[in-house]
Structure 1
Amino acid sequence: MLLGLCGLSGYFVLADQGYGEDSRPADGAAAPAGPRDISSRAADPTPLTVEEVFPGKQVVVDAEESAYPVRKTQVSEDCELVADGEIRELLLSLGCSQFVRATVLSPPETYVATAGIVNLADQAGATSAHEKIKPIVDGKKGRFLGMAAGKDTESVESRSAQVGWHVRGHYLIYCVVARTNGGTIGTDDPFARQVMLDMIEVYLRGKVLDRRVTAPTTPPADVEPSQPN
């Protein structure tokens, strides 16, 4: 199965052992293990910033392929903006302190996605969220919220948008994908699946959190908190 929620969430459970055989490597190789412990916010207290997660006007997944244009970014401590229904309640109960997200277009601009990282209290909570979200989504009792960013992005806020999620350490990574024309995404749509794999597995879970794991634990004194765009 390519994009059904059951298939996607199952894929990302298996991907805890690696990136998955059909996804792209981050620049051809995984970053080496580093000194930072990201199993809890107590061990990893530095907040995420837009500059860390989405630092430029494009998301580069593979240097040899077209990048994803970034249309809008947001960082906020208001975790109610991430999801609605029981997913919102779940994230709040697990100590969500902030999130960083961006809305991007696929390189041919036929798909739009909102992808982000949610900062939870600890790895146990993130793992619990990973397991509990699927039945909530299947039961239509809650969903992740896309963020419109002008022309050709409104469909990412629709209830028909597809979603995937994964975890690493105390972070929950998610992505909402829709067609820019509002059309239905079928279960045999490999392009929509690739967008989700690129954003969740290769870029956010791979590149961004690899950098956090290997970065110095003490940020420079002159770093200013990021503000929403």
Structure 2
Amino acid sequence: MLGLLTGGLVMMYNADEPVTAETTASRQTSAPLPSVPPGKYGFAASRKTDPDPITIKEMFGKRRKFTVSKRGYQMTITSKDKKCTDGALGDALQKALKSAKCTQFVRASFRDKEGVVIGTIGVANLSSEKQAAKVAKAGSSSNYVKPLPGKDEVTKQLGSGAGGAKISTYGHYAILVWFQRKDGTKPDSKGSKRISQAIVDITKATVYEALDNRALTGSALS
């Protein structure tokens, strides 16, 4: 059963405010960067200017365990879906992905160090920023990323009980999340904030770092 965590997940995970690309720029070599197309998402606004296929390693990083401001997290399982619709639940969302010419859908599941918060993040590679917005609009209490249970004792519980779902966009990409408490119970306000913080921590350390680089360079993060 889906329970949307309004006031936590929805408010803190804002599609219109992606993390900045300044940190990515500092990691580039001394070679001049290509001329970035105008607009909020640079090269990443369209697959025409950002043609490189995405990979699990690029989107979710090489590290299984990482720390953000002393908060520990672990990636437990990944999936490169054969069809984009395999990673999505709901007829409206699946239809929107097909209409947006989705060519790739990758997912990864995470847990916090304490084993309280668990969740799945999916990234869909779509044709354009406009099409990504349509996919995000299709999100609802019955249209969201398909939770990806892990084989471990913690994230194997993914998809059971109440959780929070959200679809956001970054250029021609859609970022879909499902996060919940391990025990499946509906969180109180403190629990919702903890879940929201985990989403921000994990997406900034993985997906947004990769997409910031694409916005600046139009190529995969090496």
Partner in structure 2 of residue 226 of structure 1: none
Partner in structure 1 of residue 146 of structure 2: 145
Partner in structure 1 of residue 105 of structure 2: 99
- Contiguous gaps of at least 5 residues in structure 1: 20-24, 221-229
C-alpha displacement at 1:57, in angstroms? 3.7
- State whether residues 87 and 146 of structure 2, in contact with CA within 8 Å, keep that contact through their aligned partners in structure 1: yes
Partner in structure 2 of residue 74 of structure 1: 79
RMSD between aligned residues = 3.0
Count of matched residue pairs:
203
Distance, in Å, in 2 between the alignment partners of 1:103 and 1:210 is 21
Percent identity, aligned pairs only, is 23
Partner in structure 1 of residue 40 of structure 2: none
Which residue among 149, 170, 177 is the counterpart of 2:179?
177
Partner in structure 2 of residue 89 of structure 1: 95
Distance, in Å, in 2 between the alignment partners of 1:160 and 1:89 is 25
Distance, in Å, in 2 between the alignment partners of 1:211 and 1:147 is 26
Compute the TM-score of the two structures, normalised by the length of structure 2. Answer: 0.77
- Contiguous gaps of at least 5 residues in structure 2: 27-32, 37-42
Partner in structure 1 of residue 24 of structure 2: 31
Distance, in Å, in 2 between the alignment partners of 1:183 and 1:155 is 12
C-alpha displacement at 1:56, in angstroms? 2.3
Aligned to 1:87, what secondary structure does the other structure show?
helix
Aligned to 2:48, what secondary structure does the other structure show?
coil
Partner in structure 1 of residue 5 of structure 2: 4
- Describe the shift of the 1:130–1:218 C-alpha distance in structure 2 as closer, same or farther (beyond 3 A): closer
Q: Which amino acid aligns with 2:87?
A: V
Distance, in Å, in 1 between the alignment partners of 2:65 and 2:5 is 25
C-alpha displacement at 1:188, in angstroms? 4.1
Aligned to 2:16, what secondary structure does the other structure show?
helix
Distance, in Å, in 2 between the alignment partners of 1:84 and 1:65 is 34
C-alpha displacement at 1:210, in angstroms? 1.4
- Describe the shift of the 1:10–1:132 C-alpha distance in structure 2 as closer, same or farther (beyond 3 A): farther
Distance, in Å, in 2 between the alignment partners of 1:147 and 1:219 is 25
Compute the TM-score of the two structures, normalised by the length of structure 1. Answer: 0.75
Partner in structure 2 of residue 227 of structure 1: none
Partner in structure 1 of residue 16 of structure 2: 16
- State whether residues 166 and 172 of structure 1, in contact with CA within 8 Å, keep that contact through their aligned partners in structure 2: yes
Bigger mean CA deviation after superposition, 98-107 or 210-219:
210-219
Distance, in Å, in 1 between the alignment partners of 2:70 and 2:76 is 19
C-alpha displacement at 1:167, in angstroms? 0.9
